[in-house]
Amino acid sequence: MVKYNCQRKPGIRELKAPATIVFVDGTEEEDIDEIVCCTGFANQFSFLETSDNDNDEIIKQVAKDARIPHDLYKHCVHVLTGDQLFFIGFVRPCFGAIPPLAEMQARWFAQLCSGNVKLPSREIMIEHSKIYVQYIENQLTPYRTNRIVSLTDHLVYSDDIARLISCRPNFVKMFFREPKLWIKCQMGPIMMSHFRLCGPGAKPVEARRIIHRIKWIHELADILQFIMIFIHFLFYFFGGIKRCKPNSWYPLTEWLS
């Protein structure tokens, strides 16, 4: 949305003296006062790159590779260090917020520290990371994922981590046992309360109370979305058409199968 007499313009092709901008579509703007370059920032881990650890070269390699978070296993783990070094917070959803995803990462790390879950082998982590990168490039385009290297899909990523720590609800059982709760989880806003219904750190009473307070239908679009989910389910369940199955319904590693 553009307000206050602002205009949306494409990329800059060149600058002309004394104060003219030429855009890629050939249009020009004169008497420009300021150009603000929103270039973002680059990840750097100088405290690791200057490490005097016995495994100095390994640590430096990890620090270099970790600059691109989506190349790590689940944005968190480098195969050379495993659970001995864990990156939390380097995950940016295309919509939503970083803290909820960072919380899921922290819960996963806590389970690794306690020994309740373990990392897969290096080979499996590398394979799964490649599938994940292919997935986000397919969903969000390589242009976006290469420019914002921590970018991810909020729902699919949080579901992926939830499966690792067994805190993802069984939505099939929920559909039959608690249909109202199922509707709230499926049609309400994306939030993390349903990951507190079961698994380690579960608070089912508080989670249900929060979820049931959500108003899930506000407009016609929400009703149409519900109908589309139902139709997709019919095509998937009875027709065997896997592409009609929403991505969050199955593990991300099965995306290419």
pLDDT per position as a tens digit, 15-67? 998 889 999 999 999 989 998 887 777 888 888 877 565 568 888 899 999 99
Which of 43-52, 79-88, 233-242, 247-256 reaches the highest mean pLDDT?
Answer: 79-88
Same domain membership, residue 48 and residue 23:
no
In a domain, 94, yes or no: yes
Same domain membership, residue 157 and residue 47:
yes
Kindly report the pTM of this predicted structure.
0.79
Same domain membership, residue 60 and residue 98:
yes
Rounded to whole angstroms, the Cα distance separating 28 from 22 reads 5
Same domain membership, residue 47 and residue 132:
yes
In a domain, 219, yes or no: no
What pLDDT was estimated at residue 55? 61
What's the average model confidence in pLDDT over 191-207? 93
pLDDT confidence tier of residue 113, bands split at 50, 70 and 90: very high
**Tens of pLDDT along 73-106?**
999 999 999 999 999 999 999 888 999 999 999 9
Asked if 43 contacts 67 with a C-beta cutoff of 8 angstroms, the reply is yes
Same domain membership, residue 7 and residue 93:
no
Question: Taking 90 as the threshold, does the pLDDT of residue 251 lie above it?
Answer: no
Question: Which of 165, 189, 211 delimits the end of a domain?
Answer: 165
Enclosing domain of residue 70: 43-165
Rounded to whole angstroms, the Cα distance separating 37 from 210 reads 41
In a domain, 25, yes or no: yes
Same domain membership, residue 22 and residue 81:
no
Same domain membership, residue 56 and residue 26:
no
Same domain membership, residue 132 and residue 88:
yes
What's the average model confidence in pLDDT over 223-251? 70
In a domain, 253, yes or no: no
In a domain, 1, yes or no: yes
Same domain membership, residue 73 and residue 27:
no
Question: Which of 102, 134, 165 delimits the end of a domain?
Answer: 165
Asked if 234 contacts 204 with a C-beta cutoff of 8 angstroms, the reply is no
pLDDT confidence tier of residue 5, bands split at 50, 70 and 90: confident
In a domain, 99, yes or no: yes
Select the more confidently predicted residue: 74 or 184.
74
What pLDDT was estimated at residue 234? 76
Q: What percentage of the chain exceeds 70 in pLDDT?
A: 87
Q: How many domains does the chain have?
A: 2
What pLDDT was estimated at residue 219? 60
Same domain membership, residue 114 and residue 19:
no
In a domain, 221, yes or no: no
What pLDDT was estimated at residue 124? 95
What pLDDT was estimated at residue 240? 65
Q: What is the mean pLDDT of the chain?
A: 86
Question: Which of 165, 195, 216 delimits the end of a domain?
Answer: 165
In a domain, 234, yes or no: no
Same domain membership, residue 47 and residue 32:
no
Q: Which strands sit side by side in the sheet containing 20-23, from one edge to the other?
A: 12-16, 20-23, 28-29
What pLDDT was estimated at residue 143? 86
Asked if 66 contacts 43 with a C-beta cutoff of 8 angstroms, the reply is yes
What pLDDT was estimated at residue 157? 94
Half-sphere exposure of 159 (CA within 13 A, CB side): 18
What pLDDT was estimated at residue 189? 80
Same domain membership, residue 94 and residue 27:
no
